[in-house]
Amino acid sequence: MLQEPAPTPLALLLMGREEDLRSERGVSCPGDLPMASDPDLVERARVAKERLGDRVYILGHHYQRDEVIRFADATGDSFKLAQAAAGRPEAEYIVFCGVHFMAESADILTSADQRVILPDLAAGCSMADMAAIDQVEKAWARFEELGIADSMTPITYMNSTAAIKAFTGRHGGSVCTSSNAERALHWAFEQRERVFFLPDQHLGRNTAVRQMGLTLDDCVVYDPYKDNGGLTDEQLRDARMILWRGHCSVHGRFSVDNVREVRERIPGVRVIVHPECRHEVVQAADMVGSTEYIIRAIEAAPAGTAWAIGTELNLVRRLADAHPEQQIVYLDKTVCYCSTMNRIDLPHLVWSLEQLADGIVSNEIRVNPDDAHWARVALDQMLALPAAPTVD
């Protein structure tokens, strides 16, 4: 008689059980993670949320699955959600349906007695993970040796770890979002003559070239896996923007061919993309902006208009469902979800809520106090950015 093969440890890891001690974060879900096929998941989430009442506040990022977003008390981009958490001091637990760096920001901005929970600790961000703090410290040490660190303002995108935000705060820099990157760069160049932009090279380049009038030659890309970042000393000294070699695995997929193809297929279509897309894609698009900007543009568009949207698919699909009066298509023909964001599914949300309702706090995100202090300095600097200068 054939024996059933024993499940592999890897399969258990993918199910969110067990623990990978070699991984940065592990994927442990102590207790019993419900099966995705459990027909009572929706009811279990509802009951657990009701048991917790005002003690819990659930945040849902725009790129989350529908099954999770339906339970969110607030939806938005990462910074809006961190601010929403800070605006709910009565909530003992913040359940963050997003990725790791977002939960860190919520922990930094909320009070010490609020506890931030990430339902699956393996929900990281490939872009944030492209800038490890030891790599960034090593690059900075090189800039010091070259005598250019003192003339450089570090700016980090919100999509970075707390350690990178803290590095930015320690060196007199600021955090930015995709909505205020231009203001952050104006401010940074007023402080010093160079900018060190982390971790998304595309947001940095697109903002510098499209909105600030810098040239592509003013920007160089620092590759942490190459000696001297893969650059000569002269290139580092001459650059006005040193861009970290990081990118978003979702937005980096869109291509100029996608834009060309959709224009041929849908006459009159407006192409709107996120600034995390590659420079040539942004140049080929009609409109460029953050997720909030894209949502507002679609909401304000006249009925009967056609749109091809270059951002994460969950958001595009929800916009298409909410606006049947418009023709909305995904810019890439290939389906592309943010795979790490999608790790937060209904079984993990149910598991988190039921644990909390039973008084068990698992998967809490706590930033160490020193990093939290300096990351807060960089976040406060962002909030203090002056208004954008008027451009005629």
Which of 126, 179, 211, 235 binds ligand SF4 (CB under 6 A)? It is 126
Residue with tokens 């919520």: 106
Nearest CA-CA partner of 99 in 365, 335, 354: 365
Near ligand SF4 in 35-64, by CB under 6 A: 63
Shortest distance (Å) from residue 273 CB to ligand SF4: 13
Residue 302: phi and psi, rounded to 5, are -65, 150
Task: Rule CB under 6 A: choose which of 59, 341, 349, 382 binds ligand SF4.
Answer: 341
130 DSSP 8-state letter:
G
Q: Which is nearer to ligand SF4, 270 or 274 (CB)?
A: 274
CB-CB neighbours of 126 under 10 Å: 17
Residues 6+ apart with CB under 8 A from 238: none
Position among 28, 64, 75, 159 found at the interface with ligand SF4 (CB under 6 A): 159
Nearer CB in complex with ligand SF4: 103/241 = 103
* 342 lies in the binding site for ligand SF4 (CB under 6 A): no
Give the Cβ contact number of residue 189 at 10 Å. 17
Residue 248 contacts ligand SF4 per CB under 6 A:
yes
Residue 142 beta carbon to ligand SF4: minimum distance, rounded to whole angstroms: 26
Among 77, 104, 182, 312, binds ligand SF4 (CB under 6 A): 312
Determine contact, residues 76/68, Cβ cutoff 8 Å. no
**Kind of pairing between the strands at 74-76 and 93-97:** unpaired
| Residue span 265-304 as binding mask against ligand SF4, x where in contact by CB under 6 A, dash where not | ----------------------------------------
Identify the burial level of 170 via C-beta atoms within 10 angstroms of its C-beta, where 0-12 means exposed, 13-18 middle and 19 or more buried.
middle
> Using the rule CB under 6 A, is 209 a contact of ligand SF4?
no
Identify which of residues 149 and 375 has a Cβ nearer to ligand SF4 in the complex: 375
- Largest distance between two CA atoms of the chain: 81
Positions in the binding site for ligand SF4 (CB under 6 A): 63, 99, 125-127, 159, 248-250, 312, 338, 340-341
